[in-house]
Chains A and B, each alone.
Chain A
Amino acid sequence: MNIADRRWLSLAFRWLLRLLLLLLAGGLAYAVLSLPDQAVGLTNRVAANLETSGVSNPVTAVLLNFRGYDTLLEMAVLLVALLGVWSLGIAVVPCRVDPEPVLSMLVGGLVPMMILMAGYLLWVGADAPGGAFQAGSVLAASGILLLLSCKRLPVRLPVWPLRLVLILGLATFVTVGAALLPVNGFFLQYPPGLAGALILFIEAAATLSIGVTLAALFLGGRPGPDA
């Protein structure tokens, strides 16, 4: 194939790409324009059933109660993503020998605040914006700060507590869901009186798991024997 041919092909390919993009944009525009003006959706049904959900924040009610199954699968996806990263190899901890004093001081002040913040977000999720994923990501951010500043816990832990925390959220979710199976015959259907406490219990476990999973994703590999 000579150069003129190749140039012609690449030009044709570009125009084909533009055409496909235009088609996509047209389709999207059509979909948006054909939406009904006032979509009621499921807002009214959620509002009507909010009292049985055990929480007063509609978002948490949907995520942890009405559509708890989706959240369960989301956590499974997160765990599978981490397994994928771990299969890449042993992690190299990015660690300078001597962290700068500013970073050291900042981390010392920020990390306790962030852990407190995560706890607050978890607790407030029941009746205001917040919840397990937000709290978990704040927890993960504090973990990443710790990793970057080379702070190590004074005790050296074996690997299994880490793995236990990683699966804690999913395990709690499945266990609670399955334990309720004989009570009313449906997976993840909480009895209204207990729902609030159960949701908090699941969210607490999920927060820990999400935080540790996201921080472990940052490491980019399986923790080595000396990590």
Chain B
Amino acid sequence: METMTVLQWVLDGTLVLALLWLAWRALSTPDLFTAIVLFIAFGLMMALAWVRLQAPDIALAEAAIGAGLTGALLLAALARSNDLADSINDDHTVDTERE
């Protein structure tokens, strides 16, 4: 029983540290794509944390919505904003060529 408790403490401690580290990296990294991937990893870790807190309902929702769908939405938004930036740059080059 004693070893189980120690094991659980180690598991929970690792989970907390990983969550804090992932959150900090996701916020501080300058590359948006990396930040999104870190955010998805954070969501999956958070789902594990909810399981450890005995809230499987929230864990399911976190994994499906928090990590999966939000990640997909963020990636789509990033791709679209890159497209937008590209098209604006193209417009500029066209304008300068015209001048």
Is A129 among interface residues, defined by CB-CB distance under 8 A? Answer: yes
Interface majority SS on A: helix, strand, loop or mixed? helix
Main SS at interface, chain B: helix
Is residue B85 contacting chain A, with contact meaning CB distance below 8 A? no
Q: Which residues of B lie under 8 Å from residue A86 when comparing CB positions?
A: none
In the complex, what's the smallest C-beta–C-beta distance from A57 to chain B, in angstroms?
8
Asked if residues B72 and A129 are in contact (CB atoms below 8 Å), the reply is no
Q: Interface with A: B1-9, B25-33, B61-69, B89-97, which one?
A: B61-69
Q: How many residues of A contact B (CB 8 A)?
A: 18
Which single residue of chain A is at the shortest CB-CB distance from B79?
A94
- Size band of the interface chain B makes with A: 10 to 19
In whole angstroms, what is the CA distance A121 to B68 when docked?
Answer: 16
Q: Does B10 contact A (CB under 8 A)?
A: no
Neighbour of B56 across the interface among A129, A140, A218, CB < 8 A = A129
Query: Chain B residues in contact with chain A, CB under 8 A?
Result: 56-57, 59-61, 64-65, 68-69, 72-73, 76-77, 79-80
Q: Beyond A57-B57, A130-B57: 8 further Cβ-contacts under 8 Å?
A: A94-B79, A129-B60, A133-B65, A134-B61, A141-B69, A141-B72, A144-B69, A217-B73
Seen from chain A, the residues whose Cβ lies within 8 Å of a Cβ on chain B are 57, 59, 94, 121, 129-131, 133-134, 137-138, 140-141, 144, 214, 217-218, 220
Q: In the A-B complex, list the 5 residue pairs whose CB atoms are closest, starting with the nearest.
A: A137-B64, A129-B56, A59-B57, A129-B57, A134-B60
